[in-house]
Structure formats: C-alpha cells, structure tokens
Amino acid sequence: MAKKKKNEKGLVLSGGGIRGMAHIGLIKALRERGWEADRVAGTSIGALVGAFYANSNTVEDMLSFFKETPLFQYNFFTINKAGFIDTERYYKLLKAYFPKDTFASLDLPLHVVATDLLQGEEICFSEGELIRALLASAALTPVFSPVKVGKLLCADGGIMNNFPKEYLDEHCSSIVGSNVTIAGEMHKKDLKNPFQITARVTSLMIYTSSKKKLGQCQWAVEPKELESIGVLDKSSIEKAFTIGYDHASRELDRLGSESPLLLSV
C-alpha cells in the first residue's frame, strides 16, 4: 500500500546562479497572497534561497545578502584548491545569518542537494551542520572549489539533480516549483565555439532531467526572460528578481483567488 502523504505544502527551488534571484521574486508574490510553504528543497542557488526562506528571513534580507556578497573578490581566489574561488571564504558571511549553523535551528524543514565527487553520487542534507551543506550545494564547478562535508568532497548539486522535488513527495500534498535553468530555442549564430556548445549541451541535460518533475508540481514557474541573464552576472540581481516577481504575479492573478493553490493557504 502506498504511503499516505502528509498535508504539507512544499516549495522546490532549482539551481541557476544569479537567475535564482527570480526565486525571491516568486516568494514575494506568494507571500503577498498569503501562501507559505511548510517544507523546502533546493539545489545550488535554490538551496541558499531556500535556507533563507526556511529561516523566515524577509525578501529584503535575501536580496541584501546576495547584493553584498562578493563573487570575484581578489582575496577569495585560490591556487591551492580545485577551483578559481575558495568556496569556504563564504562561511563567515553566511554565519551572520545562520549563527547556530544547524538545520534544526531553521523554522522549516530544508532539503539541500549536493554532489559527492568521490563516489559520484547525489547527496541530500537535511540535518546536522547547515552552512557547509549550503556551500557544497552551491559550489559551481569549475569556478568554485569543492567543499569537504565530513568525509565527503562535494560540489554543485545541479550536476546530479537541479530540481529536487522527490525529497518533498513523501511529505507534501501540494508542491510549488520554481525553475530558473532555462533551455529555450537558440540560433545557429549563438553556437560558434566549443564553450557555447558545451554550455548549451549542459543546459539541455539539466533541463531535460527537470522537465518531467516540473510538470508534476501543483504549480510551477520558469520565466523565459531569464535566458538573457548570465549565471554569474551579479549586476543583474535586481533584474532577475523583478522578472521572477512580475512573472509569478501575472500567473497568480491569472489563476485567481479560487485556484486550488491559493485555497490551500
């Protein structure tokens, strides 16, 4: 007999770099309509935003963190680790927001996905030390160095699972999903060199693995306008946030107040 799901509302947030600011826009639009999740799952930037959400931080807190956190600060670069930037330099910055540094200290259950590079396996963290799990999930290779979590050497969760909906399925009767890793149509002129081809193939692989799960959510968003924003383009934080907010607001208004999503408040 299938195990009965708990009557919880879930929120799934994908990876996608700076485009993940659209997750914060979605959160603002949902909160304005009285919808709050009971449980969160996220990968990479989605794990970071999910942690702030599970910590009951405001939208303003979330945006401030990402705006104030440096990406390419000279003293963050490393020559002793596999990566251009030492991911662990961000520990103190996150500690200011998560002083207890545990999953148990959050207001909501949180599931954080990372990739175990040594065993080649997907790892999901949901208890114990919080910050190192977040750093591991967001360690986008080859830019950011892998992170040691216990005996594991971990990197970006998007390598294995960019949209970790399955960690909510057992618990949640309704799930809202936000995907910011878009793989829309491209023109031949945009695929002229090996780097562009590699980026395209990677995005297609990631999107294909997420597409089916997106369709299984009670409601999901993936704003196509985000394609114009680079994954590490920090100057587009506000733009990505606005795209996410405007897109979610339009879709929620179109659904109307009688939709099953908003009736589940």
Q: Which residues are catalytic?
A: 44, 156
- What single letter denotes the amino acid at residue 222? E
Question: Is the Cβ–Cβ distance between 85 and 78 less than 8 Å?
Answer: yes
Q: Enter the tokens of residue 97.
A: 């927001």
> H or E element: which one contains 92?
helix 91-95
- The torsion angles phi and psi of 132, rounded to 5 degrees, stand at -65, -35
Question: Is the Cβ–Cβ distance between 22 and 142 less than 8 Å?
Answer: no
Residue tagged 């708990």 (tokens): 6
Q: Enter the tokens of residue 198.
A: 């590699």
Helix/strand/coil percentages in the chain, nearest 5? 45, 15, 35
